Homo-oligomer: A and B are copies of this chain.
């Protein structure tokens, strides 16, 4: 039986209980969303004492399943005002799985106390975290290793989260101990910070893998999946060799790379920030062009980026970050982008939200377009919690309000990621209708729209995009976000029926149940329904399931298209009834 930990930061206590029977098969996002929906008042202030933060590895965490160490972080979001699950790679989730921990619920009013939560085979305890409070993520990770042993994995909040900024992440350390993997979106860091919890230290020394109901069945399914990943061109060649940054040229070519705060679909300097440039630099400078963010990974899509002197800058300079801090801000300086990626990791900021914020701030006149040096300087404003820092640390929507900017790429107040919805309509549906706010990972329609993985649907046409996005959103919630498996497995699973089937098969073998592909899809649909209900109780309406007005009105070059997926179809994705107007 897996364990549910309740951490009361007011009393300074940790209690351990068996995961209730009705939650037995839940993990990751399914578990965080069910618990938040059950235990958190949708009307509460997300930064107030009534909010809770739940950490949950997926159900396959700690097993030999490939890429199975994603950590889900759930709460009411200070950014969207709705329910939030953000997940991260890194080492922590796998270790929580080995310790038999299904979820950690952190609650209560710390009344100014600062905490470290220490987890090991000897149990769970809260310790005084005052000495670590105020540290940025990199020095904090090093200090925690110095204090608790070189092999611990840590889950941390950086300065932005400590300051209660609405763009603030929860960081997880990677195999090298770098706090470079983040549950980035929705301001989860501020909720952890509001609980006074600086870090969770996970020491799995002496812990065994979870026991399997049917080890042979599990291993058969695992091998099927690993074999699929080793043969699909995206997971065996594309991602290992080129990483996510390969998308810069692909999406730019597709005319969908948001440039100059979503005013254009192509960036003149794309080549300078492309995956090809990035990876050449990685090789030339003694970095790595194929790196894993968790030891269970079989894909290795990440990288290690060094500066010209060969000194480590950041690990996992990803497509979304390069776009956000690059093209969206008219910035073609890859060195500056890598440096800002490191600053985001160190301060605990989501790179996507940060890039959207800079775009809005440039539109509002805070700094010149493309001024990478000024961008870097502005991170110091966040680090020191200055007036400007608070203005750009609270996300694109807040920054737009502050400067009176009306061209604001957000949905549910969360910044839109690296794909212009006018030129990739499927992902636009996901941005509009996701329970999470604009979020590419919650239904990655870019795959069939652009990469021709899992289907082939014309990205420029609205037809069929809602059905596509809906199916992907259910599959994502059901197969990946709840199992703790990396979403990139989907590239293989969307094309390989046996790889997809291997996922519920592993879950079946783990728990001794029978879960089919259809069951997993239905499970995902149920998770979405619970999340939508929370959002509705928090006051969201069908108006929140819309893209910003300018996408409907302004044409995007080079295709010169507007957003034209009918609102009625978006309503169907989200289960909204036809509107009956008063008066």
Contact = CB atoms under 8 A, between A and B. Distances in A.
Contacts of A48: 406, 549
A404 interface: yes
A404 B539 contact: no
A537 B387 CA distance: 35
A533 B579 CA distance: 12
Nearest to A386: B387
Given A387-B387, A549-B44, A538 B543 contact: yes
* Residue of A391, A540, A546 contacting most chain B CB atoms (<10 Å): A391
Taken together, the copies of this chain in the complex come to 2
A529 interface: yes
B581 A533 contact: yes
Contacts of A266: none
Nearest to A388: B387
A402 B47 CA distance: 12
Contacts of A543: 43, 537-539
Given A43-B549, A544-B539, A549-B44, A402 B394 contact: yes
A390 interface: yes
Interface size class of A (residues with CB under 8 A): 35 or more
A160 to B, nearest CB: 11
Given A163-B404, A190-B404, A583 B394 contact: no
Contact of A391 (B164, B165, B402): B402
Contact of A406 (B47, B390, B583): B47
Interface in A476-512: none
Interface string A538-557: 11110110100100000000
19 contacts: A41-B549, A44-B549, A45-B406, A45-B408, A164-B404, A190-B404, A387-B387, A390-B402, A390-B403, A391-B402, A398-B398, A402-B402, A526-B583, A530-B583, A532-B582, A533-B581, A537-B543, A540-B541, A575-B582
Contacts of A401: 166, 394, 398
Contacts of A549: 41, 43-45, 48, 50
Contacts of A402: 390-391, 394, 398, 402
Given A43-B549, A166-B401, A529-B583, 19 more contacts: A43-B543, A44-B549, A163-B404, A164-B404, A165-B404, A387-B388, A387-B391, A390-B391, A394-B401, A394-B402, A402-B402, A526-B583, A533-B583, A536-B581, A538-B543, A539-B544, A540-B541, A541-B541, A575-B582
Contact of A541 (B408, B533, B539, B583): B539
A581 B577 CA distance: 12
Nearest to A531: B583
Contacts of A582: 529, 532-533, 536, 575
Contacts of A544: 539
Contacts of A45: 406, 408, 549
Interface in A311-330: none
Interface in A547-574: 549
Nearest to A543: B539
- Which of A165, A394, A543 gathers the greatest number of chain B CB atoms within 10 Å? A543
A270 B539 CA distance: 38
A137 to B, nearest CB: 19
